[in-house]
Amino acid sequence: MTTAAHIRRELDAVTIRFAGDSGDGMQLAGEQFTSATAVAGNDLATLPDFPAEIRAPAGSLPGVSAFQIQFASTDIFTPGDEADVLVCMNPAALKTNLNTVRRGGTIIVNSDAFTETNLKKAGYAVSPLDDESLKEYAIHKVPIETLTIEATKGLEIPSRTAKTCKNFFALGLMYHMYQRPMEETLAFIDAKFLAKTPLIAEANKRVLNAGWNFGDTAELGSGFVVPPARISPGTYRNIRGNDALALGIVAASVRSGLPVFLGAYPITPASDVLHVLSQYKHFGVRTFQAEDEIAGVCAAIGASFGGGLGVTISSGPGIALKTEALGLAHMTELPLLVCNVQRGGPSTGLPTKTEQADLFQAIFGRNGECPIPVIAAATPADAFESVYEAARIAIKYMTPVFFLSDGYIANGSEPWKIPDPDSLPPIDVNFVKTGETVQPYERDPVTLARRWVKPGTPGLEHRIGGLEKADKTGNISYDPDNHDKMTRIRAEKVARIAQEIPPTETAGDPDGDVVVVGWGSTYGSIEAAVRAARLRGVRAAHVHLRYLNPLPSDLESVLRRFRKVLVPEINLGQLSFILRGKYLIDARGFNQVRGQPFKVAALTQAIMNLSEET
Are 489 and 547 part of one and the same domain?
A: no
Q: Which among 481, 500, 519 is the end of a domain?
A: 500
Query: What pLDDT is attached to residue 272?
Result: 95
**232 in a domain, yes or no?**
no
Q: Mean pLDDT throughout 498-505?
A: 97
* Of residues 493, 590, 488, 487, the one with CA closest to residue 549: 493
Residue 509, pLDDT > 80, answer yes
Give the DSSP H or E segment for 413: strand 413-417
Give the CATH number for residue 66. Answer: 3.40.920.10
Are 542 and 450 part of one and the same domain?
A: no
**231 in a domain, yes or no?**
no
Spatial separation of the C-alpha atoms in residues 52 and 31, rounded to whole Å:
19
Q: In one letter, which amino acid is 275?
A: H
Q: Mean pLDDT throughout 483-502?
A: 98
Residue 1, pLDDT > 60, answer no
Q: What is the DSSP letter of 403?
A: E
Are 412 and 446 part of one and the same domain?
A: no
**307 in a domain, yes or no?**
yes
pLDDT-based confidence at residue 8 (cuts at 50, 70, 90): confident
User: Residue 380 is part of which domain span?
Assistant: 237-423
Spatial separation of the C-alpha atoms in residues 352 and 48, rounded to whole Å:
10
pLDDT-based confidence at residue 55 (cuts at 50, 70, 90): confident
Q: Which among 367, 392, 423 is the end of a domain?
A: 423
Each residue's pLDDT tens digit, 385-398: 999 999 999 999 99
Spatial separation of the C-alpha atoms in residues 609 and 534, rounded to whole Å:
13
Residue 163 makes CB contacts below 8 A (sequence gap 6+) with 145, 148, 149
Task: List strand residue ranges (DSSP E) for 128-192, in order.
Answer: 138-142
Has this prediction a pTM greater than 0.75? Answer: yes
Query: What pLDDT is attached to residue 222?
Result: 57
Residue 568 makes CB contacts below 8 A (sequence gap 6+) with 516, 518, 522, 525, 526, 589, 590, 591, 598, 603, 606
Q: Which among 225, 257, 285 is the end of a domain?
A: 225
Each residue's pLDDT tens digit, 279-314: 999 999 999 999 999 999 999 999 999 999 999 999
Mean pLDDT score of the chain: 95
pLDDT-based confidence at residue 342 (cuts at 50, 70, 90): very high
Give the CATH number for residue 400. Answer: 3.40.50.970
Q: DSSP secondary structure string, 374-401?
A: EEE-SSTTHHHHHHHHHHHHHHHHTSEE
Are 513 and 550 part of one and the same domain?
A: yes
pLDDT-based confidence at residue 7 (cuts at 50, 70, 90): low
Are 417 and 465 part of one and the same domain?
A: no
Are 136 and 258 part of one and the same domain?
A: no
Q: Mean pLDDT throughout 50-68?
A: 91
Number of domains in the chain: 4
pLDDT-based confidence at residue 614 (cuts at 50, 70, 90): confident
Q: Provide φ and ψ at 408, rounded to 5°.
A: -65, -45
Are 534 and 466 part of one and the same domain?
A: no
Q: What is the DSSP letter of 194?
A: I
Are 417 and 542 part of one and the same domain?
A: no
Spatial separation of the C-alpha atoms in residues 521 and 49, rounded to whole Å:
15
Each residue's pLDDT tens digit, 451-476: 999 998 998 888 889 999 999 999 99
Q: Mean pLDDT throughout 151-168?
A: 95
Residue 3, pLDDT > 50, answer no
Are 314 and 410 part of one and the same domain?
A: yes
Q: Mean pLDDT throughout 492-504?
A: 97
**15 in a domain, yes or no?**
yes
Query: What pLDDT is attached to residue 221?
Result: 57
Are 259 and 217 part of one and the same domain?
A: no
- Among 4-13, 101-110, 202-211, 584-593, name the one with the lowest average pLDDT: 4-13
**465 in a domain, yes or no?**
yes
**218 in a domain, yes or no?**
yes
* Of residues 30, 25, 29, 26, the one with CA closest to residue 71: 30
Q: Mean pLDDT throughout 434-458?
A: 93
**439 in a domain, yes or no?**
yes
**230 in a domain, yes or no?**
no
Are 413 and 336 part of one and the same domain?
A: yes
Q: Mean pLDDT throughout 99-112?
A: 97
Each residue's pLDDT tens digit, 318-339: 999 999 999 999 999 999 999 9
pLDDT-based confidence at residue 2 (cuts at 50, 70, 90): very low
pLDDT-based confidence at residue 6 (cuts at 50, 70, 90): low
Are 518 and 572 part of one and the same domain?
A: yes
Q: What is the DSSP letter of 444?
A: -
Query: What pLDDT is attached to residue 474?
Result: 92
Give the CATH number for residue 517. Answer: 3.40.50.920
- b vs e for 152-186, b when ≥16 Cβ sit within 10 Å of the residue's Cβ? beeeebeeeebbbbbbbbbbbbbbbbbebebebbe
